């Protein structure tokens, strides 16, 4: 047996959100005990910790937005509310006993590859060395406040949706919401009827996919507990999986019948739901459905037809102490201004100094655009793997499923190092270049590149996303092709 056979590896995971928790559990289940998870905050949960806005909901069916190894019979409804998802992750962390692995309030500031190991520094002054690093930092965690003149002059309360100020009373107030992505739409639905008036300010109307959200009854939850196959019918059954397939087939081929079907459903939803022709036209997008991330809502169109909800479509001139002034001169007076203006989607694990081998530096490598092979690996960053990294699949389906597939792929690479065949696996530069070239060409042809602005687009206006369908991703992540990696001895 050579000295490196069955090496015991130290693994550092960055982030205790959905993907980091997954990695920690899988590492533990694989009998790897030298594992540490660095978390910048004082609690687990990632996006579900940071987003606490009223109406927060996951628009993926709850039973599909669960780990494969931790089904949850107790979901309260078909689409789970955010706080319930946060509780689910807290329970999973305790049930799988990984909390002791997590170092809270430790943002990693640098990760530098030296003498075959990753040297890690944290904001709390910790130093660590790891053989393997898993970057599970999430995508949408740097709020993007809008560049609107006079924002700071607003006399009322103002906050971004991911920094919700729960000390501010909402009932009976005049609330303005800027932005109509998934977040803004959910907030409007939640606050209509509580606020004295809701003003929903939209720069660009959105297509809305109808999505019923029925609560589960006690009897149904009991049935899920008694018979887990009922849960599997939802998450692995034909109805959900064929929806995901049809959706990703449609995204990758805008001329497909699948995309025509999505467009028809969205158009019919607008036509059938909004009675006033003038409001209907105001809400009608002038780009193709699913070009931006589709909004799924059971009731948005119903809510905007209430007398206490106003939809304002147009450009904002400036924010004034009293409210929002549009370019047409109208002033919308407000007590509270909510910025549902999204996130800087190109940050991933940055800001963080990451230096690999052969002079590789992440800032330089990503200076044009963030990229990673299959959303997982980058050349000259050996033994460093990403979960839900750039160019991975995004859309209206479960990112837990995507992360699990990526994890299975990564684990097979880790096994190479553990087996003693090599000390490190390093993606070959030419594999990355070939992937980037094919991916960009394909991405331009997806529905995301069909002519609208969205957080899916990179700085050059090219979708920064997985451009092929779900099955292509599942196939390519099933097993790493070892010839695509340099095995460093």
Binding site for ligand N01 (CB under 6 A): 57-60, 140, 146-148, 178-184, 203-204, 293, 316, 340-342, 453, 455
Q: Which of 314, 356, 477 is nearest to 409 (CA)?
A: 477
The CB-of-254 to ligand N01 minimum distance in angstroms stands at 19
Which residue's CB comes closest to ligand N01? 181
CB nearer to ligand N01: give 102 or 394.
394
Looking at the Cβ atoms of 326 and 482, the one nearer to ligand N01 is 326
Question: What is the Cα–Cα distance from 16 to 422, expressed in whole angstroms?
Answer: 29
- Given the complex with ligand N01, which of 135 and 394 has the nearer CB atom? 394
Tokens of 247: 């959706």
How far CA 416 is from CA of 19, 31, 419, in Å, comes to 22, 15, 5
Q: Give residue for tokens 């899988």.
A: 26
Q: How far is the CB of 301 from ligand N01 (least distance, A)?
A: 16
DSSP, residue by residue, 384-442: EEESS-TTS--SSS-HHHHHHHHHHHHHHHHHHHHTTS-SEEEE-HHHHHHHHHHHHHH
Task: Tell me how far, at minimum, the Cβ of 165 lies from ligand N01, in Å.
Answer: 17
Nearer to ligand N01, 382 or 393 (CB): 393
Nearer CB in complex with ligand N01: 204/256: 204
Q: How far is the CB of 341 from ligand N01 (least distance, A)?
A: 4
Indicate the SS3 state at residue 184.
helix
For residues 65 and 468, which CB has a smaller minimum distance to ligand N01 in the complex? 65
User: What residues does 311 pair with on adjacent strands?
Assistant: 200
Question: Which of 216, 435 has the CB closer to ligand N01?
Answer: 216
- Closest contact distance (angstroms) between CB of 161 and ligand N01 is 6
DSSP state of 343: B
Residue closer to ligand N01, measured from CB, 316 or 432: 316
Q: Using the 8-state DSSP alphabet, how is residue 457 labeled?
A: B
- Residue 181 or 382: which CB sits closer to ligand N01? 181
- The CB-of-147 to ligand N01 minimum distance in angstroms stands at 6
Whole-number minimum distance, CB 186 to ligand N01, in Å?
Answer: 6
Min dist. Cβ of residue 293 to ligand N01 (A): 4
CA distance 399 to 246: 17
CA distance 358 to 431: 17
Q: Extract the tokens encoding 94.
A: 């305790």
- DSSP designation for 101: G
Nearest to 255 by CA among 290, 295, 283, 204: 290
Least distance between ligand N01 and beta carbon 287 (Å): 10
CA geometry: angle 421, 422, 427, nearest 5 deg: 120
CA–CA separation, 155 and 334 (whole Å): 9
User: Strand order of the sheet with strand 316-320?
Assistant: 316-320, 323-326, 331-333
The tokens for 122 are: 């944290």
């Amino acid at each position: 047996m050579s000295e490196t056979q069955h090496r015991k590896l130290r693994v550092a995971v960055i982030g205790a959100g959905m993907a980091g928790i997954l990695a920690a559990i899988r590492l533990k289940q694989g009998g790897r005990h030298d594992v540490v998870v660095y978390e910048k905050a004082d609690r687990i949960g990632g996006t579900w910790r940071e987003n606490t806005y009223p109406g927060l909901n996951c628009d993926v069916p709850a039973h599909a937005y669960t780990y494969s190894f931790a089904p949850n019979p107790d979901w309260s409804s078909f689409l789970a509310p955010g706080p319930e998802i946060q509780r689910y992750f807290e329970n999973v962390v305790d049930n799988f006993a990984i909390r002791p692995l997590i170092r809270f309030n430790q943002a990693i500031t640098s990760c530098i590859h030296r003498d075959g190991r990753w040297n890690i520094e944290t904001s709390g002054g910790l130093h660590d060395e790891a053989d393997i690093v898993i970057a599970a930092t999430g995508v949408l965690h740097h709020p993007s406040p809008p560049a609107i003149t006079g924002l700071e002059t607003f006399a009322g309360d103002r906050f971004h949706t991911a920094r919700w100020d729960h000390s501010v009373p909402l009932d009976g107030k005049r609330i303005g919401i800027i932005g109509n992505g998934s977040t803004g739409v959910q907030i409007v639905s939640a606050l209509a009827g509580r606020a004295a008036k809701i003003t929903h300010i939209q720069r660009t109307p959105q297509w809305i996919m109808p999505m019923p959200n029925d609560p589960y009854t006690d009897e149904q939850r009991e049935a899920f507990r008694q018979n887990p196959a009922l849960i599997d019918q939802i998450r692995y059954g034909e109805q959900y999986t064929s929806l995901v397939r049809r959706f990703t087939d449609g995204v990758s081929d805008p001329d497909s019948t699948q995309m025509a079907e999505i467009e028809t459903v969205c158009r019919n939803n607008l036509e059938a739901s909004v009675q006033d022709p003038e409001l209907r036209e105001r809400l009608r997008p002038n780009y193709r459905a699913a070009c931006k991330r589709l909004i799924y809502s059971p009731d948005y169109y119903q809510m905007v037809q209430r007398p206490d909800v106003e939809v304002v479509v147009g450009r904002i001139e400036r924010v004034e102490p009293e409210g929002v002034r549009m370019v047409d001169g109208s002033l919308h007076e407000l007590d509270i201004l909510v910025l549902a203006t999204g996130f800087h989607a190109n940050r991933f694990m940055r800001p963080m100094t990451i230096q690999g081998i052969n002079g590789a530096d992440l800032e330089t490598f990503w200076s044009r655009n963030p990229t990673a092979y299959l959303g997982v690996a980058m050349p000259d960053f050996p033994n460093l793997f990403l979960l839900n990294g750039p160019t991975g699949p995004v859309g209206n389906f479960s990112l837990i499923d995507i992360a699990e597939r990526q994890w299975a792929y990564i684990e097979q690479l880790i096994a190479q190092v553990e087996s003693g065949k090599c000390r490190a696996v390093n993606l070959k530069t030419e594999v990355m270049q070939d992937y980037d070239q094919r991916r960009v060409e394909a991405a331009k042809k997806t529905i995301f590149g069909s002519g609208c602005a969205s957080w899916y687009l990179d700085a050059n206006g090219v979708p920064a996303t997985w451009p092929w369908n779900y099955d292509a991703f599942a196939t390519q992540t099933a097993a790493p092709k070892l010839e695509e990696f340099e095995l460093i001895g």
